[in-house]
Structure 1
Amino acid sequence: MIRLHRVRTAVLPAYCLPDRLAREQELIDMALKEAGKSDPKYTFNEKFWSAAKEQLAQESHGKCAYCEAPTSTVAYGDVEHFRPKSRYWWLAYCYDNYLYSCQICNQRHKRDKFPIGAAKWAGPDPATAVAGALAIDPLVDDTTFQQFLQDSTIEQPLLPNPYYADPELYFVWQADDVVREVVVQPNLAHAHATQVYQAVQECLDLNRKELRELRYQMYEWVSVVKLASRSPQIDALTATRCAAQLARATADQAPFAGMARYFAATL
């Protein structure tokens, strides 16, 4: 996982007011219908968030925002609800609750999981909720946005949102040259890394076998280039090429860039 950045100027009008009013009224009506039920059944308009996928994929560089595996070239990818819509109905149509994910992370692993460290965010009462006020408008001013972030962190979410935090702070990586795999582990220098790591593993299983093996291919490339760059025998042109290769491997666009950056800095 690496830090992502939203391009606010690319947000479609459907996710902003006043276009969002009708969709939020649908959410309120739905929540009122299911109010009081022990197992509410919510239904949503999937087409609403599907329209955001192309832009979200660009912001995620065609990679899953969670596992960093290349997604857009081999699969359709999903618009993932960071806070699951089945548990946070009022955020189902909230643009700031969306990110781009591979189907394996989203559908097989995360699903409706969302570990928290405090009481769950209650959200609005559907009996008094007003359409247009359920979620933050993606083009609002910074003061309103900061208030939204403050409200959303009260429940102490343990899964890092790559749009609002730097996930790289929580993790370190370990390569095994015998089995040719790389695993992610908690960065014990960070106070909350163990909790975050456990949440990530519970929700996403980022040490699943196919990821361990794919990461090793990138690790091997980075380690060889690093080794070559240290050699006193290389000429200036080769040194420049090594630097360019490392820059390419650690760029946001590269697969498993977070891991590559770690090894580029520590090998």
Structure 2
Amino acid sequence: MMQILRTVAELRTRVRGWKADGRQVGVVPTMGALHEGHLSLVRAAKRGCDRVIVTVFVNPAQFNNPEDLAKYPRTEAADAALLAEEGVDVLFAPGPDEVYPAGFASQVIVSGVSAPLEGERRPGHFEGVATVVTKLFGMTQADRAYFGQKDWQQLQVVKRLVADLNIPVEVVGCETIREPDGLAMSSRNVRLDPLSRAQAPALHRILQKAAQALRGGAEVAPVLAQAVAEVKQAGFSEVDYLELRTAAMLEPATSVAQPARLLAAATIGDVRLIDNIPV
């Protein structure tokens, strides 16, 4: 039966018992408002580990826009019901004071891979992500951690900090889960009005078309320019970026001779969506 724990002390006591019995522990860090994408990570953790912890914490440190933080959906009761059905062992749902107690003064900064794209548009975001993920790894003492590839840059940031800080956790990146029409699943999708929801899948289709052209040998700059124009024509009011980057370090890529990724962020209605695909 799933337990809901809210303090680090309770969590560590439980994990200590599991590890004494030789159990492998997996963690799925989330901010709640769970959907099928999150549940796919839970199932991967269940396959790969003896015990599974899902963390639900809306991390204020990774929001550079207070309005976005206030709008972020909070659905703990529904989340708990879904996780119990999946056979999760522990839902760890700490309050802000448990994660950032009085006097908290530390920050984890991952240089390089965190700088472009989301790093440019959302100052402080990845510092918040890196700090809370490092803390969650310390709290859960997990052997494996599961993240979705939809947040590709975040996944690379987490892999970098784990390697750099010698954190003994294996980071597992799992495929993006999509709606039948191709829209990447996201907790933000519930905020799309009917028209925006109908138009939103165009972002993925345009990325696929651009990737196909690049694989066929087309020059990068014209393909990206055409893709940006098509995203705007599809009803998106703003395109923050649509770029080809190297897969691991997210440096600008001028060809697809090495592993590369098309990454995009665009706003439709009042919702900012991100997506990416391999090239």
User: By the TM > 0.5 criterion, same fold?
Assistant: no
Provide TM-score, normalisation by structure 2. Answer: 0.30
Structure with a larger share of its residues in strand: 2
Provide TM-score, normalisation by structure 1. Answer: 0.31
- More relative contact order, 1 or 2 (CA 8 Å, 6+ apart): 1
Which structure has the larger Rg over C-alpha atoms? 1
